[in-house]
Amino acid sequence: MTAAPGKRAHPGPPVISEEGEPSLAGLNARVADQFWPYLQTLEKSFIPYKKVDWDRRYKAGMPYILGGFIVFILLAVLGGPVVGIGLLGFFFLAVPVFLVVALFGKGKAPPEESSRTLEKRAVQRLVELMGFTWIGTAPSEGMEHERRALSLLGLMPADGKGVQAHFEDMMALPDSGTDLKIFDLIVHSSAEARENVATHWFRGLVLSFDLPRSVDGLILGQGRRRGMSRLVVPAVKPDRAVSPVILESESFNRAFQVQASDQVMARYLLTPAFMDRLIHSLAIHAPKSMDFCLVEGRFLLALDLRRECFEFGTGATLLDPKGTRDIIQEVADLRILARLMAVEARTRI
């Protein structure tokens, strides 16, 4: 896009694939005709600021810490006991200061948080165009089913003691008949600040919905953990006996350890189409871990992404084609998974 001399060129709306999910039909037109003009209006009040990627900062700092530790060890060994004690003392004093100031310090916030507010308004408008109702921050008291499923997966203590859980950026399909919800979840120690990404036990995307008909059973699917992902606590012991389930998809069996109270029910619900889509989602999102649980007729999928899921805007502008496309793809992918799980016509047991 060309701009007048002396003015910055602004990008146009992205082109989005409308295949694979019925709710995406006509979305390109709605984004171009409704969402992008809305962003242009918000842009007039937007104050540019510098975004801080805490996860990237943490990862970038770790090699220097490890490298410095190795150098200090070598100098301590080669320089004699006096030099060694002095260097090691300096190292163990300097590292905590570096971690607190350089890694966990707060970034420069936009003036009066006005720009962040505009970004959230943009996300709200976008998901509403996709047919969702925007809830925002949900009261934790109304998330009992989700808390139970998360505790069964080991992502949250059952009693909630010692942790804080933030159910944020929530959107829902109240008229879908399944009470479908998608939200950003952050779980961290009560003693740690919310902004300290490196100390988060879980930070990612959660999908939760009811099955169309009551299912009396329990399914636990725990994916392989990568990198620094870790369980918050040992998973809560189920109130009914479960046994391992081996499914026909070898790639699915390698990616997930599935246990169920009813083997027939597990094979009935975990269809080949659903398993293939879940493997596809692993490739799309590249989470540190992906776990799922079916309990009391409600299905929950948790993706530990170690980032804010519905991050919008570049910090320099609200006109963000990539951010728009990423949010649409994330939401559409989870909606496809819900549709595949909720399908009534099963091809086999």
High-pLDDT (> 70) share of the chain, %: 69
Kindly tell me if the per-residue pLDDT of 31 is higher than 90.
Answer: yes
Residue extents of the structural domains in the chain? 54-103, 113-342
Sheet holding 289-295, edge to edge: 133-136, 163-173, 180-189, 202-210, 298-304, 289-295, 218-223, 256-260, 243-245
Predicted pLDDT at 142: 76
High-pLDDT (> 90) share of the chain, %: 35
Give pLDDT tens digits for 76-115: 666 666 555 666 666 666 556 555 554 444 444 445 468 8
1 confidence band (pLDDT: 50, 70, 90): very low
Give pLDDT tens digits for 293-332: 999 889 999 999 888 788 888 888 999 999 999 999 999 9
For the chain, the average pLDDT equals 79
Q: How many whole angstroms separate alpha carbon 168 and alpha carbon 139?
A: 9
Predicted pLDDT at 140: 65
Burial of 100 (0-12, 13-18, 19+ CB in 10 A): exposed
Instruction: Compute φ and ψ for 182, nearest 5 degrees.
Output: -130, 135
Q: How many whole angstroms separate alpha carbon 341 and alpha carbon 336?
A: 9
Predicted pLDDT at 96: 60
Kindly tell me if the per-residue pLDDT of 146 is higher than 80.
Answer: yes
Distances from the Cα of 186 to the Cα of 172, 208, 215, 286, angstroms: 18, 15, 29, 18
